[in-house]
A and B are shown apart, each in its own frame.
Chain A
Amino acid sequence: MTESAIRPDNAALIASVASVQDALGAQNYICSSQIATAVYLAWHLGKPVLVEGPPGVGKTELAKTTARMLDLSLIRLQCYEGLDEAKALYEWKYGKQLLYIQVLKEQLGEILQGAVGLKASVARLHEFGDIFFSEEFLEPRPLLRALREEGGSVLLIDEVDKADQEFESLLLEILSDFQVSIPEIGTVKAGAQKPLVFLTSNNTREISDALKRRCLHLYIPFPEPKLEQEIIRARVPEITEELRRQLVAFVQELREMDLKKVPAISETIDWARTLLLLHSEALEADLIKDTLNVILKFQDDIDTVEAELYSITGRALNRR
Chain B
Amino acid sequence: MERTLANFIRALRMADVRVSTSETLDAFRTAEITGWRDRTALKQALALALPKTADEKDAFDACFEQFFRFDDFRSEGKPEDPTDASPDDDSGDEAGESGDSAAGGEGEAPGGGGGGRSSGSDAEELEELVHPGEMSGPSSELGQLLMAEDSSRLSLAIANAARDAKLEEIKVFTQKGLYTRRIMEGMGLAGLQEELGELGESTELPDRRLAAELRRRRDGLREQIRDHVERQFLLHADARGDRLREEMLRKVKLSNVEHRNFRHLRVLVQKMAKQLAAAHSRRRRVTKRGQLNVPKMLRRNMRHGGELVELAWKSTKIDRPKVYAICDVSGSMTTYARFMLMLLYSLEEVLPNVRAFAFSSDLGEVTDLFRREAIDDAIALTLKDYGGGSTDYGQAFEDFERLAGSALDNRSTLIILGDARNNFGEARTDLLRGFRDRSKRVMWLNPEPEMAWGSGDSEMRRYQAHVHQANVCNSLLHLERVVSNLLRAVT
Contact = CB atoms under 8 A, between A and B. Distances in A.
B316 to A, nearest CB: 6
Main secondary structure of the interface of B (DSSP, over half): helix
Contacts of A50: 52
Interface in A94-109: 94, 97-98, 101
B281 interface: yes
Contacts of A97: 299, 302
A37 B44 contact: yes
Interface residues of A, number: 35
A165 interface: yes
Given A45-B30, A164-B284, A101 B316 contact: no
A165 B52 contact: no
Contact of B298 (A98, A165, A166, A206): A98
B305 interface: yes
B49 interface: yes
B48 A217 contact: yes
B271 to A, nearest CB: 13
Nearest to B283: A165
Contacts of A205: 281-282
A17 B295 contact: no
Contacts of A45: 26, 29-30, 33
A265 to B, nearest CB: 19
A86 B48 contact: no
A91 B295 contact: yes
B485 to A, nearest CB: 20
Nearest to B44: A37
Contacts of B302: 94, 97-98, 101
Contacts of A17: 34, 41, 44
Contact of B48 (A37, A94, A98, A166): A37
A50 B53 CA distance: 11
Contacts of A112: none
A101 B305 contact: yes
A217 B51 contact: yes
A209 B18 contact: yes
Contacts of A319: none
A289 interface: no
A138 to B, nearest CB: 12
Interface in A260-276: none
B45 A37 contact: yes
A36 B30 CA distance: 14
B22 A213 contact: yes
Interface string B145-161: 00000000000000000
A34 interface: yes
B30 A41 contact: yes
Contacts of A38: 48
Contacts of A218: 48
Given A37-B41, A47-B26, A86-B295, A165 B48 contact: no
B52 A212 contact: yes
Contacts of A82: 316
Contacts, number: 79
Contacts of A47: 26
A86 B29 CA distance: 35
Contact of A33 (B33, B44, B53, B316): B44
Interface string B200-216: 00000000000000000
A34 B26 contact: no
Contacts of A92: 295, 299
B296 interface: yes
A41 B33 contact: yes
Interface residues of B, number: 34
B299 A94 contact: yes
A68 interface: no
A41 B299 contact: no
Contacts of A164: 282, 284
Interface in A1-59: 17, 33-34, 37-38, 41, 44-45, 47, 49-50, 52
Contact of A166 (B23, B53, B284): B284
B57 interface: yes
Contact of B306 (A98, A166, A212): A98
**Most chain B Cβ neighbours within 10 Å, of A38, A91, A164, A216:** A216
A222 interface: no
A219 interface: yes
A98 B41 CA distance: 57
A121 to B, nearest CB: 17
A98 B295 CA distance: 11
B31 to A, nearest CB: 11
Interface string A230-242: 0000000000000
Contacts of B296: 86
B44 A34 contact: yes
B13 to A, nearest CB: 14
Contacts of B44: 17, 33-34, 37
Contact of B49 (A41, A166, A208): A41
A40 to B, nearest CB: 8
A33 B302 CA distance: 54
Given A37-B41, A41-B48, A45-B33, A94 B278 contact: no
Interface in A69-84: 82
A164 B40 CA distance: 37
Interface in B45-65: 45, 47-49, 51-54, 57
A165 B47 CA distance: 25
Contacts of B20: 213
A101 B299 contact: no
B230 to A, nearest CB: 30
Contacts of B45: 37, 41
Contacts of A41: 30, 33-34, 45, 48-49
Nearest to A92: B299
Nearest to B318: A81
Interface in A125-173: 164-166
Contacts of B30: 41, 45
**Most chain A Cβ neighbours within 10 Å, of B33, B277, B281:** B33
Contacts of A166: 284
Nearest to B314: A82
Given A97-B302, A213-B22, 16 more contacts: A33-B40, A34-B48, A37-B45, A45-B33, A49-B48, A92-B295, A92-B299, A94-B299, A101-B302, A205-B281, A205-B282, A206-B277, A208-B278, A209-B52, A216-B26, A217-B53
24 contacts: A34-B47, A41-B33, A44-B33, A45-B29, A45-B33, A50-B52, A91-B295, A92-B295, A92-B299, A98-B306, A101-B302, A164-B284, A166-B284, A205-B282, A206-B278, A213-B20, A213-B23, A213-B52, A214-B22, A215-B52, A217-B48, A217-B53, A218-B48, A219-B57
Interface of B: 18, 20, 22-23, 26, 29-30, 33-34, 40-41, 44-45, 47-49, 51-54, 57, 277-278, 281-282, 284, 295-296, 298-299, 302, 305-306, 316
Nearest 6 A/B pairs, CB to CB: A212-B52, A216-B48, A217-B52, A37-B44, A94-B298, A206-B278
